[in-house]
Structure 1
Amino acid sequence: MRSRIGLAVALAAAVALLAGTVPSSPENALQAGTRITIEQAWPDAERADLRDLTVEPVHFLDATTAVGTVTTGDRVKLLIEKDGISRELRDLPASGDPRFEGMTASGKQLVWAESVNGKPVEIWTVGTDGAKPRLLTADTGNTLFYGNQHDLVLADGRVHWTAGEGDATTQVRSVALTGGAVTVREEKGQWAMSAWPWLTDDTGGQAGKVRMRNLTTGDLVEVPFSGAEWGMCEPVWCRVSVMTGEGTARIDLMHPDGSQRRRVAGTETQAAVNDVAVLDRFEVLSIPGPNSDITGTAALLVHDLETGRDVPLAVAADLAATKDGMLWWSTGDQEIAVWHTLDLRTI
Structure 2
Amino acid sequence: MRKLPAVAGLAVALAAGGALLAYRPDEPRPAPGGRVALAAAWPAAQRADLRGNLRDGPIYQPGIFLDARTSLGTAPSPDGTAERLVLRAADDSIRELRRRPLATNPEFGAFAAAGDDLVWTESARGEPTQIWTARGSGGPARRLTADTGNAVFFGSQWDLVLADGRVHWAAAKEGAQVTEIRSVALTGGAVAVHEEPGEWALTAWPWLTDGGGDQAGTTRLRNLATNRDTPVESTGAELITCAAAWCRVLVMNGDGLARIDLMHPDGSGRRRIAGSTAGAAVTDVAVLDRFEILSETGPESDLTGTAGLLVYDITADRTVEVSPAADGAFSRGGVLWWATGDQDSLVWHTVDLRTV
Q: Same fold (TM over 0.5)?
A: yes
Measured in 1, the distance between the counterparts of 2:12 and 2:272 equals 15
User: Match for residue 74 of structure 2?
Assistant: 69
- Between 1:244-253 and 1:224-233, the stretch displaced more is 224-233
Match of 1:22 in 2: none
**8 Å contact from structure 1 (residues 204, 274) kept in 2:** no
Show structure 2 runs of 5+ residues with no match.
15-29, 55-59
1:175 matched to 2:180? The reply is: no
Structure 1 residue 45: Cα displacement: 0.8
Distance 1:9 1:337 in 2: 25
Cα 1:270–1:203 shift into 2, 3 Å: same
**TM-aligned CA distance change 1:162 to 1:218, over 3 Å:** same
Separation in 2 of the partners of 1:209 and 1:42?
32
Range 270-279 or range 283-292, more displaced: 283-292
Q: Percent identical across equivalent pairs?
A: 54
TM-score by length of structure 1 reads: 0.89
Which residue of 69, 78, 85 maps to 2:93?
85
Q: In the aligned structure 2, how far is the partner of 1:205 from the partner of 1:240?
A: 15
Shift in Å, 1:81: 1.1
User: Counterpart of 2:212 in 1: which secondary structure?
Assistant: coil
The Cα offsets for residues 1-28 of structure 1, whole Å up to 9 and x where unpaired, read as: xx9xxx756648xxx9455xxxxxxxxx
**Aligned 1:145-156 pairs, distance under 5 A:** 145-156=153-164
For 2:65 and 2:160, how far apart are their aligned partners in 1?
16
User: Equivalences for 1:84-103 in 2 at 5 Å?
Assistant: 84-103=92-111
1:204 & 1:98 partners in 2: Cα distance?
24
Listed one character per residue, the Cα deviations across residues 44-76 of structure 1 (whole Å, up to 9, x for unaligned) are: 111101135422211111101121111122111
Map 1:1-347 to 2 at 5 A: 11=13, 17-18=31-32, 34-51=34-51, 53-54=53-54, 55-72=60-77, 73-82=80-89, 83-164=91-172, 165=174, 168-204=177-213, 206-207=215-216, 210-347=219-356
- Give the secondary structure class of the aligned counterpart of 1:95: helix
Deviation of residue 204 (structure 1)?
4.6
AA aligned opposite 1:283 = E
Q: C-alpha separation between the residues in 2 aligned to 1:335 and 1:297?
A: 17
Q: Distance in 2 between matches of 1:104 and 1:119?
A: 21
The separation in 2 between residues aligned to 1:63 and 1:320, in whole angstroms, is: 14
Change (3 A) 1:104 1:9: farther
Structure with the bigger RCO (C-alpha within 8 Å, sep 6+) is: 1
| Offset from partner CA, 1:102-159 (integer Å, 9 cap, x none) | 2010001100111012300111000000111011011110101111111000000000
Q: Report the 3-state secondary structure (helix = DSSP H, G, I; strand = E; otherwise coil) of the residue aligned with 1:154.
A: strand
In the alignment, is the contact (CA less than 8 A) between 1:10 and 1:270 conserved in 2? no
Distance 2:238 2:318 in 1: 24
Kept in 2, the 8 Å contact 1:9–1:274? The answer is no
Contact 2:178 2:198 in 1 (8 A): yes
> Aligned Cα RMSD in Å?
2.1
- The SS at the match of 2:244 is coil
Please say if residues 158 and 203 of structure 2, whose CA atoms lie closer than 8 Å, have aligned partners that are also in contact. yes
Residues 167/275 of structure 1: CA separation in 2 closer, same or farther (3 Å cut): farther
Separation of aligned partners in 2, 1:221 and 1:205: 19
CA contact (8 A) 1:208 1:226 kept: no
Partners of 2:215 and 2:175 lie apart in 1 by: 18
Distance 2:46 2:242 in 1: 28
Counterparts of 2:10 and 2:257, CA distance in 1: 13
Change (3 A) 1:172 1:253: same
Quick one: distance in 2 between partners of 1:213 and 1:240?
19
List gaps (5 residues or longer) in structure 1.
20-33
Measure the CA separation in 2 of the matches of 1:331 and 1:166.
Answer: 44
- Residues 316 and 149 (structure 1), Cα distance of their counterparts in 2 relative to 1, 3 Å cut: same
What displacement does 1:292 show?
2.1
Please state how far the C-alpha of 1:319 moved relative to its aligned partner. Answer: 1.4
TM-score under structure 2 length normalisation? 0.87
Q: Helix, strand or coil: the match of 2:354? A: helix
Evaluate the alpha carbon distance shift between residue 182 and residue 285 of structure 1 in structure 2; reply closer, same or farther with a 3 A threshold: same
Tell me which amino acid in the other structure corresponds to 2:73.
Answer: G
